[in-house]
Amino acid sequence: MNIRLHFRLFAATAGTGLVLTACGSSGSPPSASGSPSAAPGTSSPSATVSVPSGPSAITPPGTPAPTTPGPGGGAPPLGSGRFQPMWPFTTLAEARAWERDFHSAGHQPWHLDPDETALSFTQGYLGFQNIDHVTAHTVRGPDARIGVGLSRPAGVTGTAAVIHLVRYGTGPDAPWEVVGTDDTTFSLTNPGYGLIVHSPLLTGGRITGVDERIRIQVRQPSSAAPLGTSCCTAAGGNGRHWKESVSFSGADDPVLTVVASTGGHIADVERFTVTAVRTG
């Protein structure tokens, strides 16, 4: 991963160490073959987020506004309807357990870095190995928008998606949690964010592009492989509607990640967008 880490580790406080089995003790983000304790999430409209020109990912219309800071400057708990916890923690209890483990042993410091969390979500959870650069960085209190992209010819980096993250919990050591993407030229508006879904699932949105091939995946943090995949829907034009049905099975986690990706011009995945849905 070709990116410099800028961790600002906070002073450890006394407490009982509780190690999350899925997180392990390594200080590095997970690889494409697995993820740490995971959690589902969503995207919300960005009032003012600046990203470089080029393809990126934005929130479907009508999704909730960004969270307001809670006590200690953190975000209110996820999963209450405003945002769904998408990744890397599935529950607030898991996030707090990591905090205790970090305080006692300093494990997994990358959870405090929104850039590293965004790239780990993209490469480790979604499996998009060619998306290996941070292209934009906007952090306002407990809310972050991180652009991720790939290296293009002549060294130019394009933005594939803008990952939306919030702090999971309160206080300076609350870890970053992915809750969705902010969409522009490629969106996933159906199913609606946070809705309860069943298989088969009808997905859809809008896209601007030429000769696009849209692939759909349904994922959950506890599984390395997708629960279902559908490929590939031909699309193109200027803000044109697209739709595709995908069947999935084996959903055990309370929140699932629906992923739409497109590419094929210079890489298999050049743009992507995600949304969070619930299983019940």
Is 200 in contact with 246 (CB distance < 8 Å)?
A: yes
CA 209 remoteness from chain centre: 23
| Percent of the chain surpassing pLDDT 70 | 71
Q: What is the pLDDT of residue 81?
A: 58
Segment 94-123, tens digit of pLDDT: 999 999 999 998 889 999 999 999 999 999
Residue given tokens 């879904």 in the structure block: 197
Segment 49-59, tens digit of pLDDT: 333 333 323 23
pLDDT at 131 over 60: yes
Is 80 in contact with 92 (CB distance < 8 Å)?
A: no
Nearest to 158 by CA among 273, 54, 266, 25: 54
Integer Cα distance of 192 and 279 in angstroms: 13
Is 204 in contact with 222 (CB distance < 8 Å)?
A: no
DSSP state of 102: H
Peptide bond into 200 cis (omega under 30): yes
CATH of domain 71-278: 2.60.40.2550
Choice among 83-92, 145-154, 218-227 with the minimum mean pLDDT: 145-154
Q: What is the pLDDT of residue 78?
A: 58
More confident residue, 170 or 181: 181
**Whole-number Cα distances in Å, 66 to 44, 63, 76, 123:** 6, 9, 11, 25
Split at pLDDT 50, 70, 90, the class of 145 is very high
Q: What is the pLDDT of residue 30?
A: 61
Segment 179-231, tens digit of pLDDT: 999 999 999 999 999 999 999 999 999 999 999 999 999 999 999 999 999 99
Strand positions, DSSP E, the chain: 133-140, 143-151, 157-167, 176-182, 201-219, 228-246, 255-262, 271-278
Q: What is the pLDDT of residue 166?
A: 95
Integer Cα distance of 124 and 33 in angstroms: 7
State the average pLDDT over residues 164-192.
95
pLDDT at 11 over 70: no
Integer Cα distance of 213 and 156 in angstroms: 23
Integer Cα distance of 175 and 117 in angstroms: 9
More confident residue, 46 or 77: 77
State the average pLDDT over residues 25-30.
55
DSSP state of 190: B
State the average pLDDT over residues 236-252.
96
| Percent of the chain surpassing pLDDT 90 | 62
DSSP state of 65: P
pTM for this entry: 0.75
Record the tokens describing residue 55, joined without a space.
């393809």
Record the tokens describing residue 46, joined without a space.
């960005």
Mean predicted lDDT score pLDDT of the chain: 77
Radius of gyration for the alpha carbons in the chain, expressed in angstroms and rounded: 17
